[in-house]
Amino acid sequence: MKRILVVSSANMDMVMNVDFVPVGGQTVIDKGTYSYVPGGKGANSAVAFSRLGAKCIFLTKLGKDANGDVLLSLYEKEGMDISYIKRDTEVASGLAAILVEKTGQNRIIVFPGANSRIELDTVSEAIAGKPDALYMQFEINYDAIIHAAIEASKNGIPIFIDAGPANKDFPLEKLPELTVFSPNESETEAFTGIAPTDEESCKRASLKLLERVKTKYIVIKLGGRGAYIFDGEKGIIKPTYDMPVVDTTAAGDAFTAGLTLEYLRTGDIYTSCDFANATGSITVSRHGASSSIPNSNEVADFLAKNG
Ligand code: RIB
């Protein structure tokens, strides 16, 4: 079983399913629903790794509050190694406010709280355990991300980065050699100024990213159009599956986790992308963040039915 160290974020998501999003100054009384769902880009990927058959070692920071208690009990239930999850007594657990429109399109605001106070010593301890891979996103303090990447690189541990949320000021140049760097459409545009609309613009954006990131593969997530894989020379769009979209929250997190795990198992980025597309497609057909992520049997059934 692959042991994957996720150094990333955990949030409680307050999700509102709404007809439409109000404009500034407007109050809307909506007949939709709201709920509190465990989320956070890191936790969503950690849940995906666990459900897809990896041993996930999840390193994050939670507040010493009720949301932190709920989140921690989910990670235990999912079978994660939680020994590197610390509780912060001064700052609350991360919280995300998410508005989901009828189309499944979402808008998210994150209050990072304890996520931005991950300690470098904890990161070093977790890397010393020699996981099979290090997986990160950009929703925690940047010094922890750079430190984890450098320590992993020194120990020969492959590094996979899901480049969300977008921040053009992230010091990409400080990252050592990666295996996969995977931004979505808006993150690609934030880092390069190029909107990845077709194969030609995906290639231009990938080449621009490679001026700042050292990586074996760039994988640009293109939402309903699939993903673009660039190996430094050639690029190809792998289309995704046709699924009714209910809620896109966590689809990118589940996609990149699926891609990482299947790549570690097979070494084939192209078939791993099919696996990731299937994982993401099931995720968009369900409501919520961690609640929408499939397990390995569901992905296997989906691939058997859909080719
Ligand atoms: O990618 C989706 C996630 O982004 C949500 O679960 C929310 O918590 C934010 O981190």
Q: What is the pLDDT of residues 58-111, one digit of tens each?
A: 999 999 999 999 999 999 999 999 999 999 999 999 999 999 888 878 899 999
The whole-model pTM stands at 0.96
Q: Could you say which residues of the chain have pLDDT below 70?
A: none
149-177 pLDDT, tens digit each: 999 999 999 999 999 998 888 999 999 99
* pLDDT at site 104: 79
pLDDT, residue 16, reads: 93
pLDDT of residue 50: 98
Residue 5's pLDDT is 98
Q: What pLDDT, on a 0 to 100 scale, did the predictor assign at position 106?
A: 84
User: What does the angle CA 91 – CA 97 – CA 100 come to, to the nearest 5 degrees?
Assistant: 160
pLDDT of residue 307: 76
Q: Output the pLDDT for position 103.
A: 82
Per-residue pLDDT, 147: 98
Q: How far is 277 from 280, CA to CA, in rounded Å?
A: 5
Number of domains in the chain: 1
Domain that holds residue 252: 3-306
Provide the CB-side half-sphere exposure for 243 (13 A, CA).
Answer: 26
Distance 254 CA to ligand 1 centre (A): 11
**Helix, strand and coil in the chain, % to nearest 5:** 40, 25, 35
Residues with CB under 6 A from ligand 1: 9, 11, 13, 39-41, 44, 96, 108, 110, 139, 249-250, 252-253, 289
Ligand 1 centroid, distance to 111 Cα (angstroms): 11
Name residue 56's beta-bridge partners: 4
Contacts of 169 by beta carbon, 8 Å cutoff, 6+ apart? none
Q: Prior bond to 112 cis, omega within 30?
A: no
Identify the CATH number of the domain in which residue 74 sits: 3.40.1190.20
